[in-house]
Amino acid sequence: MGERAREAQGESAVREPEFRPMLLTDVPVITSIEREAFTVPWSAEAFMNELRHNHFARYMVMELEGAIIGYGGMWVIMDEAHVTNIAVRAQYRGRGYGEMLLRRLMRMAAEQGARSMTLEVRVSNEVAQNLYRKLGFRQNGIRPRYYTDNQEDAYIMWADLASGGGQA
Q: Which one, of 167, 19, 22, lies nearest residue 97 by Cα? A: 19
Name the catalytic one among 59, 97, 132, 155: 132
Q: Which amino acid is at 143?
A: R
Told to judge if 120 belongs to the known catalytic residues of this protein, a careful annotator would answer: yes
46 CA to centre of own chain: 16
**Active-site residue among 120, 146, 147, 152?**
120
Report the alpha-carbon angle 62-157-114, nearest 5. 65
80 catalytic, yes or no? Answer: no
Torsion (CA) 15, 166, 102, 73 in degrees, nearest 10: -130
Residue 81: CB atoms within 10 Å: 27
User: Which residues lie across from 82 on neighbouring strands?
Assistant: 75, 118
- List the catalytic residues: 120, 132
